[in-house]
Structure 1
Amino acid sequence: MSLESMIIKKYFKQNDQTPFKVIFKDGEVLDMGEGDPKFVINVNGNIDKKLLLSSTSLALGEAYMDKTLDMEVGDLYDALDILLGKLDEFDVDESALSKLIFTSTSKKNQKKEVTSHYDIGNDFYSLWLDETMSYSCAYFKNQDDTLYEAQKNKVEYILKKLQLQEGMTLLDIGCGWGYLLIEAAKKYKIHGVGITLSEQQYLKFKERIKEENLEEYLTAELMDYRDLEKSNLKFDRVVSVGMLEHVGRDNYNLFFKNVDSVLKDQGVFLLHYISGRKEHPGDPWIKKYIFPGGVIPSLREIIDIGSEFNYYTLDVESLRRHYQKTLLCWYSNYKDNIDKISEMFDEKFVRMWELYLASCAASFHNGMIDLHQIVFSKGNNNTLEMTRDHLYK
């Protein structure tokens, strides 16, 4: 019996699980569960055994990328939805993978890590994101909302949580392609600044500001959050959507210190980020191929750090299931455009991103990761809405 076969039996020995089949290159067949298999996996070669024992996810991820593992029947998401339900049981030797898992949190290195993901190319992202170019969790108010409608819902929801008023100033840390600030300026006539480390996003945001004739209201900046403290800028509101995951656990206090330096007293700070149940250094495959240096904060550590800066926690909401649905939309769009993507990148890259989108959707579905929106006030503020009614009007 091969090591791969032993590991599969170790993780998937329950009789009541979703049935699936694994076919090995030597002819061995494993039928897991009872009934017709929902999917069939082919093991076309040997998986790196040393790597399999030091990081199950990295070994399996690389095996899928190079087609050592492949799907014969069924959808990749369905397989991952079952596989990632066992993620807590996967082997991870942090000491052997320390250089991969624990990368430098220096400004220079983190800029390199962030741009390696977001500067792949706007043409690539536009193939599977929606028209708003929003690369973060959407908000599905209705089950039949399109991705575009759900992304518009998300931005509207965030702006309501910020309780904006005309003439206020708003900072977006990690502004992406700028859609949130554009909507804030158009609807509330705020004056906003968006900062990003991605040159591709910065250039596109500047272009969109000009197209919308919002030069009077909005500014895009190529800026590290660490430079806010010396910027002499001040804002009534600060928002950060999907950026905290790139900060690194060692820098959470530094991040809050810089937010605090630009947020006015009694100002509101909305933080939207992928969260973990507990503090964890991150998945080795994701850190090697998708988000170098990425770390998912836990909810409790961010709440705790906020309180140390005298920030009052006004609202906490989980949008986990919304992110699973968002990712399934991206995954579907990606597959629909896979021929175009294959003209842009090699097969290994194409399979890598397919695996990334499907595995993240499965991780949210399994509750391995969550998405939280936290609304803080800087100090005590008795002028804000007392109920959540304003969010649903």
Structure 2
Amino acid sequence: MKTMTDNFLISFLQRFDQHPFDVKMHGKTYHIGQGNPSFIVNLKEDIQGRELLTSTSLALGEAYMKGNLEIEGDLFHALDHFLGQLGKFSMDQVKLKKLIYSSQSRRNQEKEVTSHYDIGNDFYRLWLDDTMSYSCGYFKTENDTLSDAQYNKVERILKKLYLKKDMTLLDIGCGWGYLLIRAAKEYGVQGVGITLSKEQKKIFEERIKEEGLTGRVTVELMDYRNLENWGRAFDRVVSVGMVEHVGRDNYGLFVKNAEAVLNPGGLFLLHYISALKEYPGDPWMKKYIFPGGTIPSLREMIHILSEHQFYTLDVESLRRHYCRTLLLWGQNFNEHRLEIQEKMGTEFTRMWDLYLSACAATFNNGVIDLHQILLSKGINNHLPMTRWYD
């Protein structure tokens, strides 16, 4: 039986021969591809063929989480060589339909979002930087720290928005509030953030008091779908890393609600993880990390935005910046690995280590991208004609 399992597994893995690697199992070593191995996979237990064919990412990801699959050497290095071949993964969309296409109701999406962001502020504090920014940084130099990069990212966004004193700024999916705090302190804007995470709201409110911004910055627990009936309008709207959570069927609804709260001629900056083409999502990521998460392609988002009075002013890719951001998060995470493992358990810790390294690898390979799109609601002829934020 083991021989049959070995034969199927090795035969299956032969398709991933772009970068050579070794597989150790049952006391034997199997070589995949040609040349010296780029990494070594150590399998302690069998992986069933039906699991690999139903979802390669689920089968391999769960094996790693449980400790049945070990990587000898650097995890990112191995994944960087392997995940560039995602097109060779198997995925049975019929069997995985409920997982891949989960309900996009308000109740279910709130549950999905809070399952990730309400893990606990103490957990995120261990490996995020002092700004508590959980999105792609911007590295101006090779020597920039993670904190430098997050400072640079927010600075770049605020400059792109051409803010002026007493403008109103809405942040859809405001996280722990660093962007709005910076906008209020440096530009004198009136800021409002909305989030579904009670944990994020708690920290944001504490920061508002600490920074002396009570009355100038506020945060509310709100679903983006409530914006168009809110009765408020803003000069500027920003959304960082949020549209990935709304689901493909709701992209238009998200944009419609952003349009509803933006004044004519106002600017909207959308910062989000993107894809080259439309794809339903990765089963392992959807099951364990971002339930319901779907990554928009750049082309579909541009198309939807154009249907809602939005004129595209600028598009910028930060793909390599996100790879470096994730590598630094992973470094911080592993510096606190024992503490995280003690609090959250071994399987959770291995899962998150895999998540951070896998995301870095997929950005590095161009499987996913990060785009910032700057738009105006209708024509705005009063902006500078040059990119002065460069």
User: Where does 1:1-393 land on structure 2 (aligned, <5 Å)?
Assistant: 1-12=6-17, 14=18, 17=19, 19-24=20-25, 26-33=26-33, 36-71=36-71, 73-388=72-387, 390-392=388-390
Note if contact 2:137-2:322 (Cα within 8 Å) is conserved in structure 1. Answer: yes
TM-superposed deviation, 1:36:
4.9
Amino acid across the alignment from 2:31? D
Structure 2 distance, partners of 1:335, 1:362, is: 17
CA shift digits 1:326-375 (9 cap, x unpaired)? 00000111111101101111111000000000000000000000000000
TM-superposed deviation, 1:22:
1.3
Note if contact 1:38-1:74 (Cα within 8 Å) is conserved in structure 2. Answer: no
TM-superposed deviation, 1:166:
0.5
Structure 1 distance, partners of 2:193, 2:168, is: 11
- Taking only aligned residues, the RMSD between alpha carbons, in angstroms, comes to 1.1
Call closer, same or farther: CA 1:90–1:34 in 2, change over 3 Å.
Answer: closer
Amino acid across the alignment from 1:139? Y
TM-superposed deviation, 1:27:
2.1
CA shift digits 1:161-209 (9 cap, x unpaired)? 0000001000000000000000000000000000000000001000000
Return 5+ residue gaps in structure 1 as ranges.
none
SS in 1 for 2:269: strand
Structure 2 distance, partners of 1:202, 1:51, is: 40
SS in 2 for 1:351: helix
Structure 2 distance, partners of 1:35, 1:218, is: 58
Note if contact 1:42-1:69 (Cα within 8 Å) is conserved in structure 2. Answer: yes
TM-superposed deviation, 1:49:
2.2
Structure 1 distance, partners of 2:311, 2:223, is: 25
Structure 1 distance, partners of 2:91, 2:31, is: 27
Give the structure 1 partner of residue 3 of structure 2.
none
Amino acid across the alignment from 1:243? M
Q: How many residues in Structure 1 have an aligned counterpart in Structure 2?
A: 385
TM-superposed deviation, 1:233:
1.0
Return 5+ residue gaps in structure 2 as ranges.
1-5
Structure 2 distance, partners of 1:293, 1:35, is: 40
Normalised to the residue count of structure 1, the TM-score between the two structures is 0.96
TM-superposed deviation, 1:4:
1.5
Structure 2 distance, partners of 1:376, 1:135, is: 23
Q: Which moved more, 1:167-176 or 1:39-48?
A: 39-48
Amino acid across the alignment from 1:52? L
Note if contact 1:124-1:341 (Cα within 8 Å) is conserved in structure 2. Answer: yes
Structure 2 distance, partners of 1:266, 1:329, is: 38
SS in 2 for 1:79: helix
Structure 2 distance, partners of 1:11, 1:297, is: 26
SS in 2 for 1:180: helix
Amino acid across the alignment from 2:74? D
Amino acid across the alignment from 1:22? V
CA shift digits 1:220-244 (9 cap, x unpaired)? 1011101111111110000000000
SS in 2 for 1:22: strand
TM-superposed deviation, 1:308:
0.7
